[in-house]
Structure 1
Amino acid sequence: MNTAAPLRDLSRLCVHTITTKPWSIETCATKFAAAGVTGITVWRDTLEGRDIQKTGQLIRDQGLSIVSLCRGGFFPALTPVDRRKALDDNRKAIAEAHALGAPMIVLVCGAVPGQSLVASRKQIVDGIASLLDDCKAAGVKLAIEPLHPMYADARSAVNTLGQANDMVEELKSSYVGVAADVYHLWWDPALEQEIARCGRLNALFAYHVCDWRTPTTDLLLDRGLMGEGCINLRQIRSWIEATGFKGFNEVEVFSNRLWATDQDAYLKKIVQAYRDHV
């Protein structure tokens, strides 16, 4: 069984602002940089009430690379009016990413309870297609993130990497790719093959890491820090790197348990877990 070699340095470590949710964007930038983190993915809520362009410069002044903006998406809706509202919000996100200096937006694509997944997937493809001119004008890419099937009712009708790759092939745009998150994909028996396919499509835009705790106490807010769960992180990273992927390993952890702890101590644990387990 092939696995990736241990990580020797932090040159590809990115942390999402949601991972240390109690901190402001300014605190995240300062603390991440001081800890040796080299990349940051910014969640849109942290930008509220701020000059986005100045915030982007503040982050870069700390020596951090802005990896992406989270999140856009949520395209499916029962009415044309609501679908247009979703497109308006995504266009706002594209403008925010451009102002921030983020090269891409991660898409949580959405779903509608009671609407067929087939219909929702068509609305997702149509929605992304409608944004491509805006993406080209802003120089901002879109990364489709497949979500675990437990979220297929209301959060995303895109539940496997294969489905995301199908959409990339259908859309045929260099501005559309995939964000692969181990939390959502680790269980998939076709994962190695679909990661390889993603590489052939030049569509692997982002790679997110955390762990799956057993037993889990909350399907959304009880992710594990790397090493706390059952995901074979180094094996999956070996598949990711076999595609030629040179991007960041992005730590994205939603955890009420970890958010309630001292965040300075938690950040030290993140860095150590990255070295020990990613």
Structure 2
Amino acid sequence: MTPSTPHQDLSKLCIHTITTKPWAIEEAAKNYAAAGVKGITVWRDALEGRNIRQTGNLLRDHDLTVVSLCRGGFFPSKDPNKRKAALDDNRKAIEEAAALGTSLIVLVCGADPGQPLEESRKQIQDGIAAVLPEATAAGVRLAIEPLHPMYADTRSAINTLAQANDMAEALNSPYVGVAVDVYHLWWDPSLQREIQRCGEQGNLMAFHICDWKSPTTDLLLDRGLMGEGCIPIRQIRAWVEATGFTGFNEVEIFSTAYWQEDQSVFLKKIIKAYRENS
């Protein structure tokens, strides 16, 4: 298969549990596996009240690769007590990832609108550095995910792939890299060059796909299926694969409309869209 051709099989398809949010993780695992999906990324809310190690075993019993745990991060705050609480939560996430049996945590890095973005970025880098010894000891990698600039107030002060690459390179650890999400980065004129830079540094750890609907009704909760919007997903995937990346293509869709649908019907739509438009 050349990078410019559509997917012909599901061997690299991963779905995030948040994509089919109405399903409990046990139901998601059963249905993903029955449909031929091979990967699952677990959001931490899906683990509440469960034995995490047993849940990881359940996922593998369904022949699912546990691609990553979402999410760590949210390091910045003007309040030092909140910064400390964030570090504690990230250390807990590292323990959860290890128990689940995945070697990757995706970081939504956070921001505090009450302080300059530069200060939030410094606190992010300091926060990652602070938990890096625990991550390294556990064999868990940390992927910095840049978010669209519309989220720069509270969700992330890391808004371009260049910023994420800069930070990963500054931290200089094989356990720190980046996650590329087309929803957040498709607009960036430097995207191809920065993805190539990921390949040169060997720090591309995750690739997330969905689509940007136009017009969108909600900047957070109206993501589209691949092919429903204006993101050149196939082109970006080609750039990603040109780096030598052989990981999963992770479908991550937040959608109030799709969460209200029959999730079995939605899963069929995901697979069709993946085959035809990604």
Q: TM-score, length-normalised on structure 2?
A: 0.99
SS at match of 2:159: coil
How many percent identity over aligned positions?
68
- 2:110 aligned residue: 110
Is 1:224 matched up with 2:229?
no
- 1:160 aligned residue: 160
What is the distance in 2 between the residues matched to 1:80 and 1:274? Answer: 44
Q: Which amino acid aligns with 1:272?
A: K
CA contact (8 A) 2:10 2:38 kept: yes
Shift of 1:8: 1.1
Q: Which amino acid aligns with 2:163?
A: Q
What is the distance in 2 between the residues matched to 1:263 and 1:217? Answer: 21
- Listed one character per residue, the Cα deviations across residues 191-245 of structure 1 (whole Å, up to 9, x for unaligned) are 0000000111101000000000000000000000111000011100010000000
Shift of 1:114: 2.1
- Listed one character per residue, the Cα deviations across residues 129-160 of structure 1 (whole Å, up to 9, x for unaligned) are 00111011111000000000000001000000
Residue-pair matches, total: 277
Is 1:211 matched up with 2:249?
no
What is the distance in 2 between the residues matched to 1:143 and 1:99? Answer: 18
Is 1:196 matched up with 2:173?
no
Is 1:31 matched up with 2:40?
no
SS at match of 2:82: helix
Shift of 1:3: 6.3
CA contact (8 A) 2:3 2:241 kept: no
Is 1:6 matched up with 2:6?
yes
Q: Which amino acid aligns with 2:233?
A: L
CA contact (8 A) 2:105 2:143 kept: yes
What is the distance in 1 between the residues matched to 2:82 and 2:216? Answer: 34
SS at match of 1:135: helix
What is the distance in 1 between the residues matched to 2:126 and 2:14? Answer: 31
Q: How does 1:1-278 map to 2 (within 5 A)?
A: 4-278=4-278
SS at match of 1:211: coil
CA contact (8 A) 2:113 2:154 kept: yes
What is the distance in 2 between the residues matched to 1:163 and 1:221? Answer: 25
Give me the CA root mean square deviation: 0.9
Q: Which amino acid aligns with 1:214?
A: S
What is the distance in 2 between the residues matched to 1:59 and 1:74? Answer: 27
What is the distance in 2 between the residues matched to 1:35 and 1:8? Answer: 14
SS at match of 1:245: coil
CA contact (8 A) 2:181 2:209 kept: yes
What is the distance in 1 between the residues matched to 2:187 and 2:151? Answer: 14
SS at match of 1:239: helix
CA contact (8 A) 2:78 2:114 kept: no
What is the distance in 2 between the residues matched to 1:260 and 1:201? Answer: 41
What is the distance in 2 between the residues matched to 1:181 and 1:203? Answer: 14
What is the distance in 1 between the residues matched to 2:169 and 2:137? Answer: 22
What is the distance in 1 between the residues matched to 2:228 and 2:59? Answer: 30
What is the distance in 2 between the residues matched to 1:39 and 1:247? Answer: 10
What is the distance in 2 between the residues matched to 1:114 and 1:263? Answer: 39
Q: Which amino acid aligns with 1:156?
A: S
Q: Which amino acid aligns with 2:200?
A: R
Q: Give structure 1 regions of 4+ aligned residues with deviation exceeding 2 angstroms.
A: none
- Listed one character per residue, the Cα deviations across residues 65-100 of structure 1 (whole Å, up to 9, x for unaligned) are 000000000000112211110000000000000000
Q: TM-score, length-normalised on structure 1?
A: 0.99
Q: Which amino acid aligns with 1:95?
A: E
- Listed one character per residue, the Cα deviations across residues 154-201 of structure 1 (whole Å, up to 9, x for unaligned) are 100000000000001100000000010000000000000000001111
What is the distance in 2 between the residues matched to 1:135 and 1:173? Answer: 11
SS at match of 2:19: helix
SS at match of 1:129: helix
Shift of 1:253: 0.1
CA contact (8 A) 1:3 1:236 kept: no
